[in-house]
Amino acid sequence: MKADIAQRLIELNRQFYTDFGEPFSATRGRIQPGVRKVLDSLKGGETILDLGCGNGELARTLARDDHHGAYLGLDFSLPLLEDAESMPEGFSAEFRVADLTKLSAISDQLSANWSLITSFATLHHIPSHELRLDILKTIRELLAEDGRFIHSNWQFLNSPRLRGRIQEWSAAGLTESDVDENDYLLDWRSGGTGLRYVHHFSEAELASLAESAGFKIVENFYSDGKEGNLAVYQEWRK
């Protein structure tokens, strides 16, 4: 994918999460079952870097679980981060505005040696193999030697309803030849009509990315949605 096309897709999603941050946040009032499974594996003292933290529901859940490790959430949506600031007393959570496509450029502003880095429903919004790989290599650098990187990616093609949300690229002023294989444009219909860029990952593509970024996959499972297959979750380690 050409760099200018990738930038257009990044701006498309930035605009979406600016314009529809409030109605989107209203649909994210609880964590997904797959995320709950991940949190149940924690010991309570992990330091957590949450990439694409959204409205902070993960942090609020950690607070209710009496998690006592440091937490830092990054997201580029100001409307979502405004909701994230609402935290129970006694839980130390920090949130920052950050463009994850520039994670390598700001990595020196982040602590290293995180015991857990999460990225739930975020990587599928990053266009182009090059940008994804740059982010993943940076994550590896920020992770402790025995740390875990756990992420989820939307498997929307498993849902007939969500398949019906797929739009022609012309709606965003692009063509099929501009984008990569398994790139999609999905509409949004709550509080108005919007468009989002989403990539649909296969397990084979994720395995290739993991190897290229210097990771090994130690766990893979599906969860979420009525059929329990609306997202693929993976744990990677160095």
Q: Summarize pLDDT for 175-216 with one digit per residue, the tens.
A: 999 999 999 999 988 778 899 999 999 999 999 999 999 999
Task: Give the total residue count for the chain.
Answer: 238
pLDDT of residue 77: 81
Average model confidence (pLDDT) across the chain: 92
CATH 3.40.50.150: does it fit domain 3-155+201-237? yes
- Nearest Cα to Cα of residue 210 among 232, 231, 235, 229: 235
Specify the 3-state DSSP secondary structure of 120.
strand
CA dist 14 and 71 (Å) reads 24
- Confidence band for 224, pLDDT divided at 50, 70 and 90: very high
The rounded distance, in Å, linking the Cα atoms of 217 and 141 is 17
DSSP codes, 145-187: EEEEEEEEEE-GGG-HHHHTTEE-GGGGT--GGGS-TTEEEEE
Q: How far is CA 230 from CA 38, 149, 153, 222, in A?
A: 16, 20, 9, 7
Q: 99-152 pLDDT, tens per residue?
A: 999 999 999 999 889 999 999 999 999 999 999 999 999 999 999 999 999 999
Say which amino acid occupies 131.
Answer: L
Asked if pLDDT for residue 225 goes beyond 90, the answer is yes
The model carries a pTM of: 0.93
Instruction: Please state, in angstroms and rounded to a whole number, the distance separating the CA atoms of residues 97 and 84.
Output: 11
Tens digits of per-residue pLDDT, 84-95?
777 666 678 899
Identify whether the C-beta of residue 140 lies closer than 8 Å to the C-beta of residue 213.
Answer: yes
Pairing mode, strands 166-167 and 183-188? antiparallel
Could you read off the pLDDT of 3-62 as tens digits, one per residue?
Answer: 999 999 999 999 988 887 676 766 666 789 999 999 999 999 999 999 999 888 999 999
